[in-house]
Copies of this chain bind each other. A is one copy, B any other.
Amino acid sequence: MVVCSVTVVPLGTGSASLSQYVADALKVLKESGLKYQLTPMATVIEGELEEVLNLAAKMHNSVFSDDVVRVSTTIKIDERRDKVLTMNGKLHAVQSKLG
């Protein structure tokens, strides 16, 4: 199990508003059934490494269209093998230390 953040950005669109493209990529994510959390700068996903990378590739591909010919996608993977890493577990670990 890995915790992973994915950011999909279409380049050269005629407008600076990109939320429709992000929504399209999120529809692909929703269909996967993987647990995720939308944040203001990235989407965080929980799953096996291979399935998360396959999904990120699908999200990346979903943004291309006749009008969108270039896409920049950033994937950040955090994997820990001595204990189970989850999105909530990571948040709680920090929050408990903040007191």
Contact = CB atoms under 8 A, between A and B. Distances in A.
Number of copies: 4
B5 A11 contact: no
Contact of A38 (B5, B70, B82, B91): B91
Contacts of A64: 81
Interface of A: 3-5, 9, 11-20, 22-23, 26-27, 37-42, 44, 49-50, 53, 56-57, 60-61, 64, 69-82, 87-88, 90-91, 93-98
Nearest to A41: B5
Contacts of A16: 11-12, 69-70, 80, 82
Given A39-B91, A72-B77, 7 more contacts: A3-B41, A11-B16, A16-B69, A16-B70, A19-B94, A20-B97, A73-B79
